[in-house]
Amino acid sequence: MADTLTIALDAMGGDAGADMVVPGAALSAERHPDMRFQLFGDQARIAPLLDKHPKLKERATIRHSDVFVAMDAKPSQALRQGRGKSSMWQAIDAVKLGDANCAVSAGNTGALMAMARFVLKTLPGIERPAIAAIWPTLRSESIVLDVGATIGADAQQLVEFAIMGEAMARCLFGVEKPTVGLLNIGVEEIKGVEQVKEAAQLLRNLNLPLEYVGFVEGDDIGKGTVDVVVTEGFTGNIALKTAEGTAKQLAAYLKLSLTRTLLSKIGAVLAFDAFRALRDRMDPRKHNGGVFLGLNGVVVKSHGGTDALGFATAIDVAIEMVRNDLVNKIKTDMAGLGHANAAIEADALPAG
């Protein structure tokens, strides 16, 4: 693949829209001097912002759209009203047409998934796409999926999520055989709902480029016990929001404790470097970017309330997925799953 990639950006997505997207693209342009950018949205709003970043302007084009998807719009409404016209749709369509290598948006998650699935379609063998989050852990980082795309999943879909997750882990972490665990209420084989136990049995018996380690519990996510944690979207989204809320809660507690007395304030000054390192480690902007897995193209969702640094991180994730050929890795592994399932079915047939 050529070194020069083109990134399609929904410039109107997110809480701040172009005011956040353009500076974020400018940061990304500094990190990746070989990238080109297409900014989809209101030219009258984007152009003055682009003038402030001459290095980005040299490698960016504006594709005007005066239709934007509201952050609170229902996916069905956004799909109907923005079809072919909205900045979000056009950014995704650029990937389909081959004008861009990937698309990044901080816009409405449901609308983005609905449009991406409609425009790009799912890969062969993938019944439902998933959103994969990059999760900071004590070890380094892990991938957790699904965090909101698919509510409820049967055993086969959980296996598909495992395959998509390991492909992303190979792209992002450079590991040859990622470790994978199924999120459950305990590590014992008898625990959990039937679809999770059935998925575990399938993963044990399949010859795939992953190392299935068994069930993992909620506290294993933060420990970094495995490279990939697999669950369905309802549970995954609750886990994600709980972790985000807990991090904010702990930060608030810490701030109150450090400013409570004169002695604690002095201690805070003395431990300033340690607290700064902790803040940097927990900074959600440095782990931003949910990857839509299972689509025939790379689409990354940035947090809607992030700033330029966070949006640049989401662009970084998209670039890594393209450069490491995520889509073809999933295609290849899904083909392997199909062959493995066929072999298992053949073995189950009665002799003669």
Question: Residue type at 236?
Answer: G
pTM for the predicted model, two decimal places: 0.87
Give residue 222's domain range.
128-290
Note the pLDDT of residue 2.
Answer: 47
Note the pLDDT of residue 261.
Answer: 86
Name the domain boundary from 290, 306, 340.
Answer: 290
In angstroms, the CA 297 to CA 236 distance is 23
Q: Find out whether 75 and 148 touch, Cβ atoms under 8 Å.
A: no
Residues 107 and 253 in one domain: no
Residues 75 and 134 in one domain: no
Q: Does residue 259 lie in a domain region?
A: yes
CATH of the domain at 22: 3.40.718.10
Q: Does residue 272 lie in a domain region?
A: yes
Q: Does residue 345 lie in a domain region?
A: no
Q: Find out whether 49 and 84 touch, Cβ atoms under 8 Å.
A: no
Q: 41 to each of 10, 12, 315, 352, how far by Cα in Å?
A: 7, 6, 17, 64
Q: How many residues does the chain have?
A: 352
In angstroms, the CA 7 to CA 324 distance is 15
> Helix, strand or coil for residue 344?
helix
Note the pLDDT of residue 346.
Answer: 47
Q: What are phi and psi of 156, to 5 degrees?
A: -65, -40
Type and span of the H or E element at 45:
helix 43-51
Q: What are phi and psi of 295, to 5 degrees?
A: -100, 160
Note the pLDDT of residue 81.
Answer: 80
Note the pLDDT of residue 226.
Answer: 96
Residues 49 and 165 in one domain: no
In angstroms, the CA 257 to CA 239 distance is 27
- 178-202 burial, b if ≥16 CB within 10 A, otherwise e? bbbbbbbeeeeeeebeebbbbbbeb
In angstroms, the CA 296 to CA 348 distance is 33
Residue ranges in the chain whose pLDDT is less than 50: 1-2, 342-349, 352
Note the pLDDT of residue 68.
Answer: 92
Residues 197 and 101 in one domain: no
Q: Does residue 342 lie in a domain region?
A: no
Note the pLDDT of residue 349.
Answer: 47
Note the pLDDT of residue 344.
Answer: 47
Q: Does residue 336 lie in a domain region?
A: no
Q: Does residue 350 lie in a domain region?
A: no
Give the chain's domain count: 2
Residues 117 and 253 in one domain: no
Residues 281 and 301 in one domain: no
Q: Does residue 344 lie in a domain region?
A: no
Distant-in-sequence, close-in-space partners of 48: CB < 8 Å, separation ≥ 6: none
Residues 9 and 122 in one domain: yes
Q: Does residue 187 lie in a domain region?
A: yes
Note the pLDDT of residue 56.
Answer: 95
Contacts 24+ apart (CB under 8 A), 204-207: 205/340, 205/344, 206/159, 206/337, 206/340, 207/336, 207/340
- 87-120 burial, b if ≥16 CB within 10 A, otherwise e? bbbbbbbbbbeeebbbbbbbbbbbbbbbbbbebb
